[in-house]
Structure 1
């Protein structure tokens, strides 16, 4: 922002002359005098009583920022002091104080002599300071009166007349007569106006840097903004570049902007970001295809850089109740050319857990197809082989699942699917086989703004509601039962920054609640793996998985139930750059009736540490039961990637 005094360039000419004179003096000093040893000093900047101004002054001060790292000799220090006047005056003016005064005094405590920073003998005086003695530099600023904006004009560069702006564009500009003449606010107004013009279709709009005219008599600053709105344009031809394995027809169908629509940067950027979520591109960029209008339109050029088609990963987790879980995944991205994904996973489970009787496995293949049948509708399918050796039962199962997920409203997604499971369960040396058919239906809400599930949320709400009608067929004339599993989970996150207590994202309270019920059948008519259990990181930490709820006498064998409720509160504090801590309390119960809030309430508490990596926090938590169940664990350890919820 150029500032003119009495509509002339005298000020800039004077500044140029001062710089030239300073250069000449500096050359004379360096040629005529031998450089002295570096002169240490300590700077004290007196506060003005205005926090934003004090911040600007500290940021602008070379005396402060360089005193510990850039020690210089007497003549260089004198030059630094002289330059400080202009730097601090610039800071004053940026905050609206155009008539302020800067005072700099230097003092040698042993000599008891004070020197004004503007003195021509400053360098010689500094040279007389005894060796190993620091110079005390005191900087005081008299800010003077606050200037306000006088006239504020927008003019077209070519015609010199005011451009025609819509109410939205005028509101975005936001500058008005009488507001404080703060440079950042004046410059930000131009950026907002440019964004508003382009959002209204003015793809070629230009908003130049403002001219500012200082009026000392009235303590005002007049502002003139040169503006070139340009014509309103629609989106023209859309070109794609860089596609190799991904089909162009799929990309064009996926695009959320189309030729002939109004040119709007927000919608164009949203389309770019949407393409990046497909997981097959390492980079997607978009730019205007021309520097001038083409038949009343603005062409767009989308450029793509495809990511690696194959990737290998490892999975590792540990808790004292479920033991270690270790395995590997192999992923094929863009399987058929339309961003399909096939992921193969093989895991060994139950390595030394208090809720386990031995080793198990979990092997599955996941298939994902975006835009299945229609836009924004995704297909998910899985085939899975599973063996789990819990204390409560031993299970070997083959599962088939498939479903579609689609957005329902802002922040809402819905899922409907079908599933079939063939399993064999051994319990108390008795084996039974079950065939289970189900049709899960769910709705998910998430306004946390966190796309990566491993990245911790700091605000907002996550919630899910699940209803799963199920039919269980027993083998060899066994009983047939029909039941519906219903559960809901919600979590919310409160950043203490909103209360003015901490910096953003550093201090978080997280809350979670879960409730569930099984309708249509009693506990004994439901296969053991379909019943409700609690304990562990998903519900009540400090109790092993299946350690909360009805048990067979005083044993480790859980019966399971037909209702569940649990709640958690957790405080997360980030420390330094890469470390953090957490403290939490959980409570929950499992009942043998279909109504929640029945059973024996169990409470656990604990804490942990976090190490933040680029892909998410590594979590280590320790929890203890506050009212331990018979034969329950005395404590539990949980290690994993990402927060618990």
Structure 2
């Protein structure tokens, strides 16, 4: 058995344990005396290397072996070690104790950068000198010295020095002053622009489209960060399984560095499924088929068919949702995307029965860092039955929205651990009703914001393991009263999007003491949720929701409903599978006593 005495310095102890052969090999089968003697002698060099890597160049390693039954000890440096080990009875255990005298910490003495060809110091900009970061007097830690060379290399290349070289440093030990002098050989090379850009591997995707999309261009300053950003941007198109880029030459070509982009196209067609369940909306199940490169310019066509309302306390029967989505990137200009949908649906809620045909189209584009905007047009032809009366509506609207997201999470299913998500939406609308419904003009306005706090910042848990999540929603409809607005355009609350523990449309004005929701013209809701990761793939959540729906256009009116509950998570490569149970704390008349929610991804 091997025991390594702690030095009292955690980073040094970690380096010593990682370097120790005796520790890593003690769990293997027993070895012969000569093999063990060899490992012991090699241990001195390994541990001295770990000491020096942490700046302790005068340290001493002591290794003592003891045969417990006989009470005899042997120094690991003894020339008689192998003979001593050979005399230990076969079934006796040998205990090994390793003790470190780390000695004084050495510091950097002189730090020089020299050009290999001339032997003189290269001319560096202030940013490059700051990136290098080594200076006289700092601890002589090997990882810091080596990292400085990597940072300088990155800084030089980012300044256009595409052929820059920073070789391994030469170190000169000065025991008398307990310092280490460092000399770094550097070859900055010339400043280059981006040269000819070649593209390989494009088959179904048009090269002209990729070149228009490419955010780095010939003649621009060579900067690896911009080149990598261009590569990553191409991967977001969804038509490539891999995009790589490399320098296409080992030397400058007329003052430039040519680039070679290589592409591996993904599958053009894919099939997916959708499954979800909650006790209020019941189960929804369906499938989708996607063409990922319809016209050769990364256009996407997705056809989806869902059966909805399979059970559920807010449902009166089966419904359907069938739609076709079309997405075209870089519509008219770069980073401006076109989205269009045609949809047919039937929903049989307790509050109303709806059969509708919808047409929607919109343009989404970035507005600023972390900000995106959307403007669209929509038309809906529907027939709604509510309280035994059927009416037809034609609704025309022009939705406008802004979205902010600095969570750094590109996949909406992946849980956020920090940052803010927010959206604000304004939808001017006109409803052309059938006889008895009339015409009305109104504007639907709502805003939602969520934020995520990693308790690691408070020193409570490891990063990403314990998260507090907050969500707030506020909405108002201006320009018309409740009864002048088609039922599906009114505001409702209840369910996973607002107040869990209450069925969908179970919060807000009800028709007498029935399960029929009237809907309202204002809404406000808030959530606080604690999320805790357990082990590798499991997690728990606890939450409290509150919200209300009012009959006038001013939020914070109506009857406040509060729900609370908890759930479990199972984390998969594509996102967490969520199971939540919630109960109402002030149950509405004829409301559910509890609700269950199952889905993929967090609720927000």
Q: Please confirm whether the aligned pair reaches a TM-score higher than 0.5, indicating the same fold.
A: yes
How is 1:67-216 mapped onto 2 (pairs within 5 angstroms)? 67-216=26-175
Partner of 2:497: 538
Query: Which of 597-606 and 300-309 deviates more?
Result: 597-606
CA RMSD in angstroms, aligned pairs only: 1.1
How is 1:317-356 mapped onto 2 (pairs within 5 angstroms)? 317-356=276-315
Partner of 1:223: 182
1:367 aligns with 2:326: yes
Distance 1:548 1:75 in 2: 79
How is 1:240-279 mapped onto 2 (pairs within 5 angstroms)? 240-279=199-238
How is 1:387-402 mapped onto 2 (pairs within 5 angstroms)? 387-402=346-361
Query: Which of 569-578 and 212-221 deviates more?
Result: 569-578
Unaligned runs of 5+ in 1: 1-41
Distance 1:55 1:486 in 2: 57
Note the C-alpha offset of 1:124. Answer: 2.9
Distance 2:332 2:520 in 1: 40
Q: Secondary structure at the match of 2:267?
A: coil
Distance 2:132 2:439 in 1: 70
Distance 2:88 2:554 in 1: 85
Distance 1:369 1:160 in 2: 56
Query: Which of 110-119 and 554-563 deviates more?
Result: 110-119
Equivalent residues of 2:428, 2:442 under 8 A apart:
yes
Q: Deviations over 1:487-512 (max 9, x none)?
A: 11111111122222222211111111
Note the C-alpha offset of 1:67. Answer: 1.2
Distance change in 2, residues 1:178/1:289 (3 Å) = same
Partner of 1:480: 439
Distance 1:353 1:266 in 2: 51
Equivalent residues of 2:453, 2:468 under 8 A apart:
yes
Partner of 2:411: 452
Q: Deviations over 1:238-272 (max 9, x none)?
A: 11111111111111111111110000000000000
Q: Deviations over 1:381-407 (max 9, x none)?
A: 000001000010000000000000000
Distance 2:493 2:30 in 1: 64
Distance 1:106 1:500 in 2: 41
Query: Which of 123-132 and 313-322 deviates more?
Result: 123-132
Q: Deviations over 1:326-378 (max 9, x none)?
A: 00000011111111000000000000111100000000000000011111100
Distance 2:476 2:374 in 1: 20
How is 1:572-591 mapped onto 2 (pairs within 5 angstroms)? 572-591=531-550
1:436 aligns with 2:395: yes
Note the C-alpha offset of 1:104. Answer: 1.3
Distance change in 2, residues 1:356/1:597 (3 Å) = same
Note the C-alpha offset of 1:131. Answer: 4.5
Equivalent residues of 2:476, 2:554 under 8 A apart:
yes
Partner of 2:564: 605
Distance 1:132 1:592 in 2: 86
Q: Deviations over 1:542-564 (max 9, x none)?
A: 11111111111221111111111
Distance 2:478 2:89 in 1: 90
Partner of 2:248: 289
Note the C-alpha offset of 1:106. Answer: 1.8
Distance 1:591 1:134 in 2: 79
Q: Secondary structure at the match of 1:227?
A: strand
Note the C-alpha offset of 1:314. Answer: 0.5
Equivalent residues of 2:437, 2:484 under 8 A apart:
no
How is 1:508-547 mapped onto 2 (pairs within 5 angstroms)? 508-547=467-506
Partner of 2:20: 61
Distance 2:289 2:8 in 1: 61
Note the C-alpha offset of 1:477. Answer: 5.7
Distance 1:115 1:611 in 2: 53
Q: Deviations over 1:203-227 (max 9, x none)?
A: 0000000000000000000000000
Note the C-alpha offset of 1:130. Answer: 4.1
Query: Which of 256-265 and 69-78 deviates more?
Result: 69-78
1:501 aligns with 2:465: no
Partner of 1:553: 512
Distance 2:27 2:459 in 1: 32
Distance 2:82 2:560 in 1: 78
Q: Deviations over 1:100-143 (max 9, x none)?
A: 01111122222222222212222333334445443222111111
